[in-house]
Chain A
Amino acid sequence: MIPVLLAAVAAGAVVLILGRFDRNRALRRWDFVLSGRAEKATEALRNRLAEDTEIATHTYDLALKRKASLSYDEAVRLLAIAADTIEEAAEDRHRRLRALAIYARMAEAIVPVPPVRPTQFKLAETRSLASIARWLHELLNSYEERFRFRLTVIGFGIRLVVRSIRGSRVRASLEPSHSEPYQTFGDSLHDFRALDEEQVESFRQLMRSAAATDRRALPEGLRNAGGERSRDGAEKNSEK
Protein backbone atom coordinates (compact mmCIF):
# COMPACT_ATOMS: atom_id res chain seq x y z
CA MET A 1 0.00 0.00 0.00
CA ILE A 2 2.88 2.38 0.79
CA PRO A 3 4.29 2.33 -2.79
CA VAL A 4 0.82 3.07 -4.16
CA LEU A 5 0.42 6.07 -1.85
CA LEU A 6 3.92 7.36 -2.59
CA ALA A 7 3.36 6.97 -6.33
CA ALA A 8 0.03 8.78 -6.11
CA VAL A 9 1.61 11.66 -4.15
CA ALA A 10 4.42 12.02 -6.71
CA ALA A 11 2.00 11.89 -9.64
CA GLY A 12 -0.29 14.43 -7.95
CA ALA A 13 2.66 16.76 -7.46
CA VAL A 14 3.77 16.35 -11.07
CA VAL A 15 0.31 16.97 -12.50
CA LEU A 16 -0.31 19.99 -10.25
CA ILE A 17 3.11 21.60 -10.49
CA LEU A 18 4.29 20.73 -14.00
CA GLY A 19 0.73 20.87 -15.36
CA ARG A 20 0.48 24.53 -14.38
CA PHE A 21 3.95 25.34 -15.66
CA ASP A 22 3.75 27.64 -18.65
CA ARG A 23 6.78 27.55 -20.94
CA ASN A 24 5.94 30.88 -22.56
CA ARG A 25 5.66 32.57 -19.20
CA ALA A 26 9.03 31.11 -18.21
CA LEU A 27 10.51 32.47 -21.42
CA ARG A 28 9.01 35.90 -20.70
CA ARG A 29 10.54 35.80 -17.23
CA TRP A 30 13.94 34.96 -18.68
CA ASP A 31 13.50 37.75 -21.17
CA PHE A 32 12.80 40.20 -18.34
CA VAL A 33 15.65 38.93 -16.16
CA LEU A 34 18.14 39.25 -19.01
CA SER A 35 16.84 42.50 -20.41
CA GLY A 36 18.97 44.69 -18.14
CA ARG A 37 16.15 47.22 -17.77
CA ALA A 38 17.15 47.50 -14.12
CA GLU A 39 17.19 51.24 -13.51
CA LYS A 40 14.04 51.96 -15.47
CA ALA A 41 12.20 49.02 -13.91
CA THR A 42 13.30 49.95 -10.37
CA GLU A 43 12.11 53.53 -10.79
CA ALA A 44 8.82 52.34 -12.27
CA LEU A 45 8.31 49.97 -9.35
CA ARG A 46 9.13 52.70 -6.80
CA ASN A 47 6.57 55.05 -8.41
CA ARG A 48 3.96 52.31 -8.64
CA LEU A 49 4.31 51.41 -4.96
CA ALA A 50 4.35 55.06 -3.90
CA GLU A 51 0.97 55.66 -5.62
CA ASP A 52 -0.90 53.37 -3.20
CA THR A 53 0.75 54.70 -0.09
CA GLU A 54 0.29 58.32 -1.17
CA ILE A 55 -3.46 57.79 -1.53
CA ALA A 56 -3.58 56.15 1.91
CA THR A 57 -1.40 58.85 3.49
CA HIS A 58 -3.51 61.63 2.01
CA THR A 59 -6.70 59.99 3.31
CA TYR A 60 -5.08 59.49 6.72
CA ASP A 61 -4.08 63.18 6.86
CA LEU A 62 -7.68 64.12 6.06
CA ALA A 63 -8.86 61.80 8.84
CA LEU A 64 -6.55 63.56 11.31
CA LYS A 65 -7.94 66.94 10.24
CA ARG A 66 -11.53 65.73 10.69
CA LYS A 67 -10.65 64.39 14.12
CA ALA A 68 -9.10 67.74 15.07
CA SER A 69 -12.35 69.46 14.01
CA LEU A 70 -14.29 66.90 16.14
CA SER A 71 -15.98 65.26 13.09
CA TYR A 72 -15.33 61.78 14.48
CA ASP A 73 -17.69 59.85 12.18
CA GLU A 74 -16.05 61.34 9.13
CA ALA A 75 -12.58 60.70 10.61
CA VAL A 76 -13.37 57.00 11.20
CA ARG A 77 -14.82 56.66 7.69
CA LEU A 78 -11.69 58.16 6.15
CA LEU A 79 -9.49 55.88 8.28
CA ALA A 80 -11.46 52.89 6.98
CA ILE A 81 -10.87 54.02 3.39
CA ALA A 82 -7.13 54.38 4.05
CA ALA A 83 -7.08 50.92 5.67
CA ASP A 84 -8.86 49.35 2.66
CA THR A 85 -6.33 50.97 0.32
CA ILE A 86 -3.43 49.52 2.29
CA GLU A 87 -5.03 46.06 2.47
CA GLU A 88 -5.45 46.02 -1.30
CA ALA A 89 -1.90 47.28 -1.72
CA ALA A 90 -0.65 44.52 0.60
CA GLU A 91 -2.13 41.86 -1.72
CA ASP A 92 -0.24 43.44 -4.60
CA ARG A 93 2.99 43.47 -2.54
CA HIS A 94 2.65 39.77 -1.73
CA ARG A 95 2.20 38.98 -5.43
CA ARG A 96 5.33 40.98 -6.27
CA LEU A 97 7.32 39.26 -3.53
CA ARG A 98 6.33 35.84 -4.89
CA ALA A 99 7.46 36.89 -8.36
CA LEU A 100 10.77 38.17 -6.95
CA ALA A 101 11.34 34.79 -5.26
CA ILE A 102 10.88 33.07 -8.65
CA TYR A 103 13.28 35.47 -10.41
CA ALA A 104 15.82 34.90 -7.65
CA ARG A 105 15.99 31.19 -8.56
CA MET A 106 16.70 32.08 -12.17
CA ALA A 107 19.61 34.39 -11.48
CA GLU A 108 22.92 32.62 -11.77
CA ALA A 109 24.15 34.19 -8.54
CA ILE A 110 22.79 36.83 -6.19
CA VAL A 111 24.78 39.85 -5.13
CA PRO A 112 25.11 40.23 -1.33
CA VAL A 113 22.06 41.92 0.18
CA PRO A 114 21.95 43.60 3.60
CA PRO A 115 19.33 42.49 6.15
CA VAL A 116 16.20 44.59 6.66
CA ARG A 117 17.13 47.49 9.02
CA PRO A 118 15.12 47.42 12.29
CA THR A 119 15.73 51.06 13.21
CA GLN A 120 13.58 52.43 10.40
CA PHE A 121 10.38 50.92 11.82
CA LYS A 122 8.04 52.54 14.34
CA LEU A 123 5.78 49.62 15.25
CA ALA A 124 7.20 47.39 17.98
CA GLU A 125 6.24 44.19 16.16
CA THR A 126 7.92 45.07 12.85
CA ARG A 127 11.00 46.34 14.70
CA SER A 128 11.22 43.06 16.65
CA LEU A 129 10.72 41.05 13.46
CA ALA A 130 13.51 42.93 11.70
CA SER A 131 15.82 42.52 14.73
CA ILE A 132 15.31 38.75 14.88
CA ALA A 133 15.61 38.53 11.09
CA ARG A 134 18.86 40.48 11.16
CA TRP A 135 20.31 37.90 13.54
CA LEU A 136 19.03 34.94 11.50
CA HIS A 137 20.27 36.57 8.28
CA GLU A 138 23.86 36.10 9.45
CA LEU A 139 23.28 32.41 10.11
CA LEU A 140 22.23 31.67 6.54
CA ASN A 141 24.77 30.10 4.29
CA SER A 142 24.41 31.52 0.78
CA TYR A 143 23.51 34.91 -0.68
CA GLU A 144 20.57 33.30 -2.45
CA GLU A 145 19.17 31.99 0.84
CA ARG A 146 19.69 35.39 2.43
CA PHE A 147 17.91 37.08 -0.45
CA ARG A 148 14.93 34.75 -0.23
CA PHE A 149 14.86 35.14 3.55
CA ARG A 150 14.83 38.91 3.10
CA LEU A 151 11.75 38.57 0.88
CA THR A 152 10.08 36.37 3.49
CA VAL A 153 10.79 38.95 6.21
CA ILE A 154 9.31 41.74 4.08
CA GLY A 155 6.22 39.62 3.38
CA PHE A 156 5.79 38.83 7.06
CA GLY A 157 6.33 42.49 7.93
CA ILE A 158 3.54 43.48 5.54
CA ARG A 159 1.22 41.01 7.28
CA LEU A 160 2.07 42.52 10.66
CA VAL A 161 1.45 46.04 9.39
CA VAL A 162 -1.90 45.06 7.87
CA ARG A 163 -2.89 43.45 11.16
CA SER A 164 -1.92 46.60 13.04
CA ILE A 165 -3.91 48.76 10.59
CA ARG A 166 -6.98 46.56 11.02
CA GLY A 167 -6.66 46.74 14.80
CA SER A 168 -6.27 50.52 14.92
CA ARG A 169 -9.22 50.94 12.55
CA VAL A 170 -11.45 48.88 14.87
CA ARG A 171 -10.20 50.74 17.95
CA ALA A 172 -10.80 54.09 16.26
CA SER A 173 -14.38 53.13 15.43
CA LEU A 174 -14.97 52.10 19.08
CA GLU A 175 -13.34 55.17 20.63
CA PRO A 176 -13.02 57.82 17.91
CA SER A 177 -11.88 60.56 20.29
CA HIS A 178 -8.78 58.66 21.49
CA SER A 179 -5.54 59.57 19.78
CA GLU A 180 -3.81 56.15 20.17
CA PRO A 181 -5.50 54.38 17.20
CA TYR A 182 -4.66 57.30 14.91
CA GLN A 183 -1.10 57.33 16.11
CA THR A 184 -0.73 53.55 15.56
CA PHE A 185 -2.33 53.90 12.15
CA GLY A 186 0.22 56.57 11.23
CA ASP A 187 3.09 54.38 12.48
CA SER A 188 1.75 51.45 10.45
CA LEU A 189 1.63 53.60 7.33
CA HIS A 190 5.21 54.66 7.97
CA ASP A 191 6.31 51.02 8.33
CA PHE A 192 4.41 50.05 5.20
CA ARG A 193 6.34 52.68 3.26
CA ALA A 194 9.61 51.46 4.78
CA LEU A 195 8.79 47.89 3.75
CA ASP A 196 8.00 49.14 0.24
CA GLU A 197 11.43 50.74 0.12
CA GLU A 198 13.00 47.45 1.23
CA GLN A 199 11.09 45.65 -1.53
CA VAL A 200 12.34 48.13 -4.12
CA GLU A 201 15.87 47.63 -2.83
CA SER A 202 15.50 43.82 -3.14
CA PHE A 203 14.25 44.28 -6.69
CA ARG A 204 17.19 46.55 -7.53
CA GLN A 205 19.68 44.02 -6.15
CA LEU A 206 17.99 41.22 -8.08
CA MET A 207 18.24 43.21 -11.29
CA ARG A 208 21.93 43.81 -10.56
CA SER A 209 22.38 40.06 -10.05
CA ALA A 210 20.53 39.25 -13.27
CA ALA A 211 22.58 41.77 -15.22
CA ALA A 212 25.70 39.88 -14.16
CA THR A 213 24.39 36.61 -15.65
CA ASP A 214 26.86 35.19 -18.12
CA ARG A 215 24.90 34.63 -21.32
CA ARG A 216 27.39 32.05 -22.46
CA ALA A 217 26.24 29.97 -19.50
CA LEU A 218 22.72 29.78 -20.93
CA PRO A 219 21.29 27.55 -23.66
CA GLU A 220 21.37 28.95 -27.16
CA GLY A 221 17.66 29.76 -27.23
CA LEU A 222 17.96 32.07 -24.23
CA ARG A 223 21.14 33.89 -25.17
CA ASN A 224 19.17 36.34 -27.28
CA ALA A 225 16.44 36.80 -24.69
CA GLY A 226 16.12 40.37 -23.48
CA GLY A 227 17.86 41.46 -26.66
CA GLU A 228 17.11 45.06 -25.80
CA ARG A 229 20.04 45.17 -23.44
CA SER A 230 22.50 44.26 -26.15
CA ARG A 231 20.85 46.70 -28.55
CA ASP A 232 20.87 49.46 -25.90
CA GLY A 233 24.48 48.67 -25.15
CA ALA A 234 25.38 48.85 -28.83
CA GLU A 235 23.60 52.19 -29.18
CA LYS A 236 25.40 53.62 -26.16
CA ASN A 237 28.72 52.41 -27.46
CA SER A 238 28.10 53.99 -30.84
CA GLU A 239 27.13 57.27 -29.10
CA LYS A 240 30.45 57.24 -27.29
Chain B
Amino acid sequence: MPTLHSILAVLSLGLLAVLCAGIVRRGKLAQCFLFSAYIAAATCFTALILLFPASYTPEAFMVKQGIYDSLLFGMSLELSYRAFSAFTGIANRVRGLLAFAVAGSSVVIFFLTPTNPMYSDIARYQPGITTTGIWCLAFVAMLIVWYQIPVPAFTRSIVLGYVPYLVIFVVYSDLIGRLGWGEIRNLNILNASAYDLAIGYLGYAAWRKD
Protein backbone atom coordinates (compact mmCIF):
# COMPACT_ATOMS: atom_id res chain seq x y z
CA MET B 1 0.00 0.00 0.00
CA PRO B 2 1.49 3.36 -0.95
CA THR B 3 2.38 5.65 1.93
CA LEU B 4 1.30 9.29 2.14
CA HIS B 5 4.88 10.34 1.51
CA SER B 6 5.13 8.31 -1.70
CA ILE B 7 1.81 9.78 -2.89
CA LEU B 8 3.18 13.26 -2.23
CA ALA B 9 6.39 12.34 -4.10
CA VAL B 10 4.40 11.17 -7.17
CA LEU B 11 2.32 14.35 -6.96
CA SER B 12 5.47 16.47 -6.83
CA LEU B 13 6.80 14.69 -9.95
CA GLY B 14 3.58 15.54 -11.75
CA LEU B 15 3.71 19.17 -10.59
CA LEU B 16 7.36 19.45 -11.59
CA ALA B 17 6.49 18.15 -15.06
CA VAL B 18 3.70 20.75 -15.32
CA LEU B 19 6.11 23.46 -14.18
CA CYS B 20 8.77 22.37 -16.71
CA ALA B 21 6.19 22.36 -19.50
CA GLY B 22 4.92 25.81 -18.43
CA ILE B 23 8.41 27.31 -18.36
CA VAL B 24 9.16 26.00 -21.87
CA ARG B 25 5.71 26.69 -23.35
CA ARG B 26 5.51 30.28 -22.09
CA GLY B 27 9.13 31.04 -22.95
CA LYS B 28 10.17 31.71 -19.35
CA LEU B 29 13.22 29.45 -19.46
CA ALA B 30 15.61 32.37 -19.91
CA GLN B 31 14.22 34.45 -17.06
CA CYS B 32 16.48 32.50 -14.71
CA PHE B 33 18.48 29.69 -16.32
CA LEU B 34 19.66 28.33 -12.99
CA PHE B 35 16.11 28.11 -11.68
CA SER B 36 15.18 26.19 -14.83
CA ALA B 37 18.24 23.99 -14.22
CA TYR B 38 17.10 23.46 -10.62
CA ILE B 39 13.63 22.42 -11.75
CA ALA B 40 15.10 20.07 -14.35
CA ALA B 41 17.44 18.57 -11.73
CA ALA B 42 14.59 18.21 -9.22
CA THR B 43 12.43 16.47 -11.85
CA CYS B 44 15.24 14.05 -12.72
CA PHE B 45 16.08 13.28 -9.09
CA THR B 46 12.44 12.80 -8.11
CA ALA B 47 11.86 10.46 -11.07
CA LEU B 48 15.01 8.47 -10.25
CA ILE B 49 14.08 8.19 -6.57
CA LEU B 50 10.60 6.92 -7.47
CA LEU B 51 11.97 4.47 -10.05
CA PHE B 52 14.92 3.19 -8.02
CA PRO B 53 14.15 3.80 -4.35
CA ALA B 54 16.82 1.34 -3.23
CA SER B 55 19.53 3.42 -4.88
CA TYR B 56 18.53 6.54 -2.92
CA THR B 57 21.36 6.15 -0.46
CA PRO B 58 22.68 8.80 1.99
CA GLU B 59 25.50 9.45 -0.49
CA ALA B 60 22.97 10.05 -3.27
CA PHE B 61 21.10 12.44 -0.99
CA MET B 62 24.32 14.35 -0.24
CA VAL B 63 25.08 14.72 -3.96
CA LYS B 64 21.52 15.88 -4.67
CA GLN B 65 21.55 18.38 -1.80
CA GLY B 66 24.96 19.72 -2.85
CA ILE B 67 23.62 20.37 -6.36
CA TYR B 68 20.47 22.04 -5.01
CA ASP B 69 22.47 24.29 -2.65
CA SER B 70 24.87 25.34 -5.41
CA LEU B 71 21.95 26.13 -7.71
CA LEU B 72 20.27 28.13 -4.94
CA PHE B 73 23.28 30.44 -4.55
CA GLY B 74 23.79 30.63 -8.30
CA MET B 75 20.12 31.54 -8.67
CA SER B 76 20.49 34.58 -6.38
CA LEU B 77 23.47 35.77 -8.38
CA GLU B 78 21.78 35.21 -11.73
CA LEU B 79 18.58 36.95 -10.62
CA SER B 80 20.54 39.96 -9.40
CA TYR B 81 22.62 40.04 -12.58
CA ARG B 82 19.52 39.92 -14.78
CA ALA B 83 17.65 42.50 -12.71
CA PHE B 84 20.39 45.10 -12.30
CA SER B 85 22.96 44.72 -15.06
CA ALA B 86 20.91 46.79 -17.50
CA PHE B 87 20.67 49.70 -15.04
CA THR B 88 24.21 50.92 -15.38
CA GLY B 89 23.50 53.91 -13.15
CA ILE B 90 22.90 51.75 -10.08
CA ALA B 91 24.78 48.62 -11.18
CA ASN B 92 27.99 49.67 -9.43
CA ARG B 93 26.30 50.27 -6.11
CA VAL B 94 24.39 46.97 -6.37
CA ARG B 95 27.56 45.13 -7.34
CA GLY B 96 29.24 46.41 -4.18
CA LEU B 97 26.32 45.35 -2.01
CA LEU B 98 26.19 41.93 -3.65
CA ALA B 99 29.92 41.45 -3.22
CA PHE B 100 29.37 42.11 0.48
CA ALA B 101 26.48 39.57 0.59
CA VAL B 102 28.45 36.92 -1.32
CA ALA B 103 31.52 37.40 0.88
CA GLY B 104 29.35 37.17 4.01
CA SER B 105 27.55 34.03 2.87
CA SER B 106 30.84 32.41 1.76
CA VAL B 107 32.30 32.97 5.24
CA VAL B 108 29.18 31.48 6.87
CA ILE B 109 29.26 28.43 4.59
CA PHE B 110 33.00 28.01 5.09
CA PHE B 111 32.52 27.83 8.85
CA LEU B 112 29.36 25.72 8.73
CA THR B 113 30.37 23.02 6.29
CA PRO B 114 32.46 20.26 7.85
CA THR B 115 35.50 18.92 5.98
CA ASN B 116 33.74 15.59 5.44
CA PRO B 117 30.01 16.28 5.44
CA MET B 118 28.11 13.22 6.64
CA TYR B 119 24.45 12.41 6.13
CA SER B 120 24.03 11.76 9.85
CA ASP B 121 25.27 15.30 10.65
CA ILE B 122 23.01 17.03 8.16
CA ALA B 123 20.91 18.68 10.86
CA ARG B 124 24.03 20.40 12.15
CA TYR B 125 25.03 22.30 9.02
CA GLN B 126 22.19 22.16 6.46
CA PRO B 127 19.86 24.69 8.20
CA GLY B 128 22.65 27.26 8.25
CA ILE B 129 23.55 26.77 4.60
CA THR B 130 19.94 27.01 3.44
CA THR B 131 19.36 30.08 5.64
CA THR B 132 22.33 31.78 4.00
CA GLY B 133 20.81 31.02 0.59
CA ILE B 134 17.46 32.41 1.74
CA TRP B 135 19.15 35.63 2.87
CA CYS B 136 20.88 35.98 -0.48
CA LEU B 137 17.52 35.71 -2.27
CA ALA B 138 15.89 38.05 0.27
CA PHE B 139 18.69 40.55 -0.27
CA VAL B 140 18.14 40.53 -4.04
CA ALA B 141 14.37 40.89 -3.49
CA MET B 142 14.87 43.90 -1.22
CA LEU B 143 17.20 45.58 -3.71
CA ILE B 144 14.62 45.03 -6.47
CA VAL B 145 11.95 46.78 -4.40
CA TRP B 146 14.33 49.50 -3.16
CA TYR B 147 15.33 50.48 -6.69
CA GLN B 148 11.86 49.80 -8.14
CA ILE B 149 13.19 47.43 -10.80
CA PRO B 150 10.25 46.19 -12.90
CA VAL B 151 11.30 42.53 -12.93
CA PRO B 152 9.08 40.09 -14.87
CA ALA B 153 6.18 38.63 -12.89
CA PHE B 154 7.62 35.10 -13.04
CA THR B 155 10.95 36.25 -11.54
CA ARG B 156 8.99 37.71 -8.64
CA SER B 157 7.04 34.45 -8.31
CA ILE B 158 10.27 32.41 -8.18
CA VAL B 159 11.41 34.28 -5.08
CA LEU B 160 7.93 34.42 -3.53
CA GLY B 161 7.32 30.71 -4.08
CA TYR B 162 10.74 29.31 -3.34
CA VAL B 163 11.75 31.25 -0.22
CA PRO B 164 8.78 30.20 1.98
CA TYR B 165 9.40 26.55 1.00
CA LEU B 166 13.06 26.89 1.94
CA VAL B 167 12.02 28.07 5.41
CA ILE B 168 10.02 24.84 5.82
CA PHE B 169 13.08 22.94 4.65
CA VAL B 170 15.20 24.70 7.30
CA VAL B 171 12.61 23.80 9.97
CA TYR B 172 12.56 20.22 8.63
CA SER B 173 16.32 19.76 8.80
CA ASP B 174 16.47 21.49 12.19
CA LEU B 175 13.75 19.19 13.56
CA ILE B 176 15.65 16.11 12.39
CA GLY B 177 18.45 17.19 14.71
CA ARG B 178 16.08 17.94 17.59
CA LEU B 179 13.65 15.02 17.37
CA GLY B 180 16.04 12.45 15.94
CA TRP B 181 15.86 10.27 12.86
CA GLY B 182 12.95 8.31 14.36
CA GLU B 183 10.59 11.11 13.32
CA ILE B 184 11.85 11.21 9.74
CA ARG B 185 8.63 9.77 8.26
CA ASN B 186 6.39 12.49 9.68
CA LEU B 187 8.95 15.17 8.89
CA ASN B 188 9.22 13.93 5.31
CA ILE B 189 5.45 14.40 4.93
CA LEU B 190 5.75 17.99 6.21
CA ASN B 191 8.58 18.73 3.81
CA ALA B 192 6.93 17.04 0.82
CA SER B 193 3.62 18.83 1.41
CA ALA B 194 5.35 22.23 1.53
CA TYR B 195 7.35 21.34 -1.56
CA ASP B 196 4.22 20.36 -3.50
CA LEU B 197 2.55 23.61 -2.52
CA ALA B 198 5.55 25.65 -3.67
CA ILE B 199 5.89 23.76 -6.95
CA GLY B 200 2.13 24.02 -7.52
CA TYR B 201 2.30 27.79 -7.07
CA LEU B 202 5.33 28.06 -9.37
CA GLY B 203 3.60 25.89 -11.96
CA TYR B 204 0.60 28.21 -11.87
CA ALA B 205 2.93 31.22 -12.20
CA ALA B 206 4.77 29.59 -15.10
CA TRP B 207 1.57 28.96 -17.06
CA ARG B 208 0.11 32.38 -16.31
CA LYS B 209 0.42 34.85 -19.19
CA ASP B 210 2.49 37.88 -18.10
Asked if A and B bind, the verdict is yes
Binding site for B on A (CB under 8 A): 1, 3-4, 6-8, 10-11, 13-15, 17-19, 21, 23, 26-27, 29-30, 102, 105-109, 213-214, 217-222
Q: Once the chains bind, are A11 and B166 in contact (CB under 8 Å)?
A: yes
Question: B128 contacts which chain A residues (CB < 8 A)?
Answer: 3
Closest partner residue, chain B, to A219 (CB atom):
B86
Given the known interface contacts A3-B127, A14-B160, A18-B156, the answer about A8 and B167 at a Cβ–Cβ threshold of 8 Å is: yes
The answer for the CA separation of A213 and B174 in the assembled complex, in Å, is 48
Main secondary structure of the interface of B (DSSP, over half): helix
Contact A7 B148, CB 8 Å, known A18-B159, A109-B89:
no
Contacts of B174 in A (CB 8 A): 1, 3-4
B148 touches A18 (CB 8 A): no
Residues of chain B whose beta carbon lies under 8 Å from any beta carbon of chain A: 86-90, 127-128, 130-131, 134-135, 137-138, 141-142, 144-153, 156, 159-160, 163-164, 166-167, 170-171, 174
Q: What is the CA–CA distance of A3 and B135 in the complex, to the nearest angstrom? A: 11
State the Cβ distance, A68 to closest chain B Cβ, in Å. Answer: 52
Name the B residues within 8 Å of A106 (CB-CB): 147-148
Contact A13 B156 (CB under 8 A): no
Q: How far is A4 from B135 in the complex, measured between Cα atoms in Å?
A: 12
Task: Select from chain B the residue with minimum beta-carbon distance to A216.
Answer: B88
B145 touches A18 (CB 8 A): yes
Given contacts A4-B127, A7-B167, A26-B148, contact A17 B89 (CB under 8 A): no
Listed by A's residue number, 8 A-B pairs whose Cβ atoms lie within 8 Å are A4-B174, A10-B131, A11-B167, A14-B141, A14-B160, A23-B156, A27-B150, A218-B86
Q: Decide if B87 touches A6 in the complex (CB within 8 Å).
A: no
Contact B134 A29 (CB under 8 A): no
A to B contact number (C-beta, < 8 Å): 101
Q: Which among B90, B144, B150, B167 is the interface contact of A30 at CB below 8 angstroms?
A: B150
For the complex, what is the distance from the CA of A213 to the CA of B130, rounded to whole Å?
39
Complex partner residue of B147 from A3, A11, A14, A105, CB under 8 angstroms? A105
Alpha-carbon distance A19/B161, docked complex (angstroms): 10
Contact A7 B149 (CB under 8 A): no
8 A-B pairs with the lowest CB-CB distances in the bound complex, closest first: A108-B89, A219-B86, A3-B127, A10-B138, A217-B88, A3-B131, A7-B170, A18-B141
Q: Are B131 and A6 closer than 8 Å at their CB atoms?
A: yes
Minimum CB–CB distance from B176 to chain A (whole Å) comes to 12
Using A7-B166, A14-B137, A108-B89 as known contacts, say yes or no to A19 and B171 having CB atoms under 8 A apart: no
For residue A4, which residues in chain B have a CB less than 8 angstroms away from its CB?
Answer: 127, 131, 167, 170-171, 174
CB within 8 Å for A18 and B160 given contacts A6-B131, A10-B135, A217-B88: yes
Once A18-B159, A29-B148 are accepted as A-B contacts, the answer to whether A214 and B89 lie under 8 Å apart by CB is yes
Contact A105 B146 (CB under 8 A): yes
Q: Are B134 and A15 in contact (CB under 8 A)?
A: no
Bound Cα distance from A162 to B147, whole angstroms = 31
Q: Is the CB of A14 within 8 A of B127?
A: no
Known contacts A14-B141, A109-B89, A217-B88: does B146 contact A7 (CB below 8 Å)? no
Task: State the CA gap A1–B174 with chains docked (Å).
Answer: 7
Cβ contact within 8 Å between B163 and A217: no
Q: B142 contacts which chain A residues (CB < 8 A)?
A: 13-14, 17-18
Contact B87 A218 (CB under 8 A): yes
In the bound complex, how far is the Cα of B90 from the Cα of A109, in angstroms? 9
User: Contacts A3-B128, A19-B160, A21-B144 known; A11 to B150 CB distance under 8 Å?
Assistant: no
What is the bound-complex CA distance between A105 and B90, given in angstroms? 9
Residues of B contacting A17 in the complex (Cβ-Cβ under 8 angstroms): 141-142, 145
Say whether B127 contacts A7, CB under 8 Å: yes
CA–CA, A221 to B150, complex, Å?
A: 10
What chain B residues lie within 8 Å of A105 (beta carbons)? 146-148
User: Which residues of A are found within 8 Å of B145, using beta-carbon distances?
Assistant: 17-18, 21
